Structure 1
Amino acid sequence: MKAIYVAVIIACAASLFGCAHYGGIAPVGKGKVVILRNDVLLFGLLRKALVCDTSSEGVSNCKESEQP
C-alpha cells in the first residue's frame, strides 16, 4: 500500500512540473494559427506563442517569434 501511495505522489509531481499546457489557439489569416503555450514549470514564466500553418492533416511548420 505504501508503494502505491508513493507512486501516485511521484506521478502527480511529474504531471505538475513536467507538462506544458496549451492556453489557446486562434486563427490569424488564411492558413495560419497562433498557439499559446504556458509551461507550468516556474509558475508559467516560460510562455511561448507559436505561429503554425494549417492543412487538412493538422498543424505544421510551427515557428516562434514570427509575425502572423
Structure 2
Amino acid sequence: MKKTLGLLMAAGMLGGCSYGGIATVGDKVVITRNDLFLFGALRKVYVCKVADRGLTECAADGETP
C-alpha cells in the first residue's frame, strides 16, 4: 500500500496540473499552454490570427505569423 501511494504521489508531482490562457490583441489571439511536467519543460505559446472561419496562421514560440 505504501508503494502504491508513493507511486501515485510521484506521478502527481511529475504530471502536475496544467493550465492555459488566452488573450486577444487586435485581430490576433495569444494562446499559452503550460504543464508542470518536469517543472514546465513543455511550455508553449502560440499567436494566431482570428478569421471568420476560426484561428488561422498560428505560429509557435517566437515565429512570426
Q: How many residues align?
A: 52
Aligned to 1:61: 57
Corresponding residue for residue 25 of structure 1: 22
> 1:44 and 2:44 equivalent?
no
RMSD: 2.8
Which structure 1 segments of 5+ residues have no match? 1-8
| 1:26 alignment partner AA | A
TM-score (norm: length of structure 2): 0.54
Q: Which runs of no fewer than 5 residues in structure 2 stay unpaired?
A: 1-7
Identity, % of aligned positions = 51
Instruction: Tell me, in whole angstroms, the C-alpha distance in 2 between the residues paired with 1:61 and 1:49.
Output: 14
TM-score by length of 1: 0.52
